[in-house]
Structure 1
Amino acid sequence: MVTISDVKSSSSSRENRTATHTHIRGLGLRPDGAAEKIAAGFVGQEGAREACGIIVDLIKARKMSGRAVLLAGPPGTGKTALALAISQDLGPKVPFRPIVGSEVYSAEIKKTEVLMENFRRAIGLRVRETKEVYEGEVTELTPEETENPLGGYGKSISHVVVGLKSFKGTKKLRLDPSIYESIQKEKVSVGDVIYIEANTGAVKRVGRSDAYATEFDLEAEEYVPVPKGDVHKKKEIVQDVTLHDLDVANSRPQGGQDIMSMMGQLMKPKKTEITDKLRAEINKVVTRYIDLGHAELIPGVLFIDEVHMLDIECFTYLNRALESPISPIVILASNRGICQVKGTPDLVSAHGVPPDLLNRLLIIPTTPYIEGEVRSIVQMRARTEGVEVSDAAVEFLAKEGVRISLRYTLQLLAPAQILARVRCGGAGNTKIEDRDVREAEELFIDVGRSRKLVTEGGKAYI
């Protein structure tokens, strides 16, 4: 007999995931905009968080479009975490597109095309259209067959009869065979709640009618109530799409040129370049729909980490793209000091960014963490990874985090947990002690000891 056990859910289920920034849930600001010392998964960096809070307010007020921000600071000071916290505070309705500077280098398309594609991915369009629809629970689904006009023994579908029921009544529809194909693709059966667009014939299965809900636990269906009102009604349909989705859909047009046709043509994109002429035409259609009040533009956030990896050609293109009438908010991050701008023979600038672009940026500095902040981060990360650490081990890790680096210290947690488990004979919940961390540090050297090793024994290396 197959044994099925219930999985107990808990409020800490999210903390069991061990992604690098899992614990970040926002900027952790008070209503007056001041930053808490420890809040929303963030520790320290109060000045940078308060500055990012102002950026969030500007984005929500639609006053940041076409502007750029630079997060500048040493490695491991929370620049990527700040960008992700901004996206958390903006909410899921605002597009957020994170990339790394090295992603623009592709063998298939140009660097500038990759940048523009990500610019368009970070700009959302919310389309509202009032459509004439038939909506209800399917009470009848009968395809009517006729003799094949081409002869032979087969038969073809001449039409399909669909019965729909709502709270206010029922209606029987006689539909075209092409709509029957859409019904089959949606896997519609009697008892399902669907809606059919009167103009296009598009069919959407909403779910199973809750009248068919059972008392069994093992149910894969999503049950929905029977629609209110009449079967035939006018309904406002809201759809969120990015400008890049419209670009891809219209690079292979298959239907009308209205905004909903654009969204209905979304297919798996290929790595092909989209022309500026096509994008300009799409911008005209989008602008017209915004002027008519049928759509709303939502400038999102494009986050480019390790921006010093871009070359002078990309930086020049960024200057132009930021001046576009349709542009997202761009957040850049760099951990470089004074260094050469990539792609130039002798141009040296701060953060690896050309001076003309630096003049456009609002620069937010991040600073190295002090020992107390490192201690809090280690404790928070231990909870996130489900690891129990003794006070002595936490103190040792905090001192090493200041002396070496925060990233190296956090990476010692996982091997130290394995060493502690071995020391205790494979017990389940084992507390990491001071000696386990020291042993892990001996096994896995940091970058300083690695540099010393190469310097002293350099002749043995190639």
Structure 2
Amino acid sequence: MRISEVKSTSREQRIAPHTHIKGLGLNDEGRAYQQADGFVGQSSAREAGGIVVDLIKSKKMAGRALLLAGAPGTGKTAIALAIAQELGPKVPFCPMVGSEVYSSEVKKTEVLMENFRRAIGLRIKEIKEVYEGEVLELTPEETENPLGGYGKTLSHVTIGLKTVKGIKTLKLDPSIYESIQKEKVTVGDVIYIEANTGAVKRVGRSDAYATEFDLEADEYVPLPKGEVHKKKEIVQDVTLNDLDIANARPQGGQDIMSMMGQLLKPKKTEITDKLRKEINKVVNKYIDQGIAELVPGVLFIDEVHLLDIECFTYLNKALESTISPIVIFATNRGMCQVRGTEDIIAPHGIPVDLLDRILIIRTLPYTLDDIRAIVQIRARIEGLDLSEDALNYMAESGVKTSLRYVIQLLSPASILARTNGRENITLDDLKEVDDLFYDAKSSAKILAEYQARYVS
């Protein structure tokens, strides 16, 4: 009998083009290291990005815009993602592409406004009566079905909670057990249950289990202090778009969206300017009372030249709003026609009146050493072994073609190496793959030579 182990793939992370980017790679003085946090080169652009991060954190950048301009493959998207990494998970970061606004169902300006409000966070602080502690016991109790038959129904749930000061056993309603299941709570997790609403929140895994080999634990937290039953400041993070949707389609629930949903009583309404103004009024009222704090995030619009004159006019107005995120544009175009016009030629395809509001960061082509270092990082991230001459060949090829092209050669070259019974990628593997595939420049050259053979 043959027994083989089945390898789990549930925790395997997809390797995306910018998986290696972990931050801007700056020192304490805001100067860029030549190579850090997955970044190589682009020192000036990264240092400018660091200043932008400081402005966002100090809330002095709201309503302003930034443009990352440079040739294709010079790290524009990487810098935007690095800014998001530096800001942390609590600051909203909403990426989109210029072409997303063109839809037969929704107006272009509506798509822009939806993304604008998705990039604006609201941090709400409330003092609530809660039961908090480490879960010691979680036992659902069943009873005979009152309607008869063979099935059983859930009568209540017994849960034991432990803090530094003591242990308490609670008997919970079956509806709360549904919330516990949604949060995927298990014994050893630290949770809190709101006394008034029954809402359940998983805080993390108890640090008493920190020595165990637990891949599923997202964060270890200390055992809560004080009694199990107490008053606690609860912080909830939502976006303005979450509030828009909750009020447009009010539903019963246990969180802040349901509370804000009491603004309007109709069962279903569209997200109109009137509704958004009403939500803004309540948000401003909460901010004035000190209950809530506005967290301006980042809206990243890649390929901004794909927007048309109507969108640019709308952006001009939106950037002047009192509630507005920082907007980061990215483009690889030079002087070109503004979409939606017949004769307006402008830098980057953006109207001059909008360009006046924008800080522009330029990204420069990578040098031979930069490309070599980036290829090395990508190979390490993808778990590939490159020989020294193969690495040099890719760096030289990257200067002649593009960084994106040579990085794309890594995967097919690794497949070719494995086919030949090797784990490491050699120069011969890369040359063979390079002969099989064409880069953009080579393809354009062939098209020009054999233009007569193609259908025009």
TM-score, scaled relative to structure 1: 0.82
Contact 1:25 1:85 in 2 (8 A): yes
Give runs of aligned pairs for residues 394-433 of structure 1, distance below 5 A: 394-422=391-419, 425-427=420-422, 429-433=423-427
Contact 1:70 1:331 in 2 (8 A): yes
Give runs of aligned pairs for residues 53-452 of structure 1, distance below 5 A: 53-135=50-132, 179-184=173-178, 186-187=180-181, 195-203=192-200, 228-254=225-251, 259=256, 261-262=258-259, 274-422=271-419, 425-427=420-422, 429-433=423-427, 435-452=428-445
Q: For residues 200-250 of structure 1, give each alpha carbon's deviation from its aligned partner in whole angstroms, at most 9, with x where no partner exists.
A: 343557789999x9x997998999987653343211111111111111111
Contact 1:312 1:343 in 2 (8 A): yes
Cα gap change, 1:454 to 1:126, in 2 (>3 Å)? same
Structure 1 counterpart of 2:79, which letter?
Answer: L
Distance 2:186 2:75 in 1: 52
Contact 1:207 1:221 in 2 (8 A): yes
Cα gap change, 1:415 to 1:291, in 2 (>3 Å)? same
Equivalent position of 1:453 in the other structure: 446
Gaps of 5+ in 1: 8-12, 266-271
Distance 2:15 2:205 in 1: 36
Contact 1:163 1:170 in 2 (8 A): no
Distance 2:439 2:254 in 1: 59
Report the CA distance between 1:81 and its aligned residue: 0.6
Contact 1:161 1:172 in 2 (8 A): no
Cα gap change, 1:305 to 1:191, in 2 (>3 Å)? closer
Per mean C-alpha deviation after superposition, the further-off stretch among 91-100 and 379-388 is 379-388
Contact 2:74 2:366 in 1 (8 A): yes
Q: For residues 232-271 of structure 1, give each alpha carbon's deviation from its aligned partner in whole angstroms, at most 9, with x where no partner exists.
A: 3211111111111111111122469995634789xxxxxx
Distance 1:132 1:121 in 2: 30
Cα gap change, 1:299 to 1:191, in 2 (>3 Å)? closer
Cα gap change, 1:382 to 1:452, in 2 (>3 Å)? same
Cα gap change, 1:2 to 1:181, in 2 (>3 Å)? farther
Cα gap change, 1:210 to 1:337, in 2 (>3 Å)? closer
SS for the counterpart of 2:72 is coil
Give the length in aligned residue pairs.
Answer: 438
Report the CA distance between 1:196 and its aligned residue: 4.0
SS for the counterpart of 1:87 is helix
Structure 2 counterpart of 1:22, which letter?
Answer: T
Report the CA distance between 1:198 and its aligned residue: 3.2
Distance 1:130 1:373 in 2: 52
Contact 1:135 1:164 in 2 (8 A): no
Structure 2 counterpart of 1:235, which letter?
Answer: K
Gaps of 5+ in 2: 263-268
Distance 2:207 2:254 in 1: 38
Cα gap change, 1:262 to 1:120, in 2 (>3 Å)? farther
Structure 2 counterpart of 1:287, which letter?
Answer: N
SS for the counterpart of 2:235 is strand
Contact 2:124 2:293 in 1 (8 A): yes
Distance 2:392 2:221 in 1: 54
CA RMSD of superposed structures (Å): 3.9
Structure 2 counterpart of 1:117, which letter?
Answer: E
Cα gap change, 1:257 to 1:67, in 2 (>3 Å)? farther
SS for the counterpart of 1:186 is helix
Report the CA distance between 1:371 and its aligned residue: 1.7
Report the CA distance between 1:96 and its aligned residue: 0.8
Contact 2:199 2:254 in 1 (8 A): no
Contact 2:242 2:257 in 1 (8 A): no
Cα gap change, 1:257 to 1:380, in 2 (>3 Å)? closer
TM-score, scaled relative to structure 2: 0.83
Q: For residues 436-462 of structure 1, give each alpha carbon's deviation from its aligned partner in whole angstroms, at most 9, with x where no partner exists.
A: 222222111122221222222223222
Distance 1:360 1:120 in 2: 20
Contact 2:98 2:307 in 1 (8 A): yes
Distance 1:87 1:361 in 2: 19
Distance 1:161 1:388 in 2: 53
Structure 1 counterpart of 2:176, which letter?
Answer: S
Distance 1:190 1:27 in 2: 39
Report the CA distance between 1:94 and its aligned residue: 1.0
Distance 1:242 1:302 in 2: 13
Per mean C-alpha deviation after superposition, the further-off stretch among 401-410 and 59-68 is 401-410
Structure 2 counterpart of 1:327, which letter?
Answer: S
Structure 1 counterpart of 2:94, which letter?
Answer: R
Cα gap change, 1:194 to 1:306, in 2 (>3 Å)? closer
Contact 1:164 1:231 in 2 (8 A): no
SS for the counterpart of 1:353 is coil
Report the CA distance between 1:143 and its aligned residue: 8.1
Contact 2:301 2:327 in 1 (8 A): yes
Distance 1:31 1:305 in 2: 29
Equivalent position of 1:10 in the other structure: none
Equivalent position of 1:268 in the other structure: none
SS for the counterpart of 1:317 is helix
CA radius of gyration, larger in? 1
SS for the counterpart of 1:239 is strand
Report the CA distance between 1:382 and its aligned residue: 1.9
Report the CA distance between 1:19 and its aligned residue: 1.4
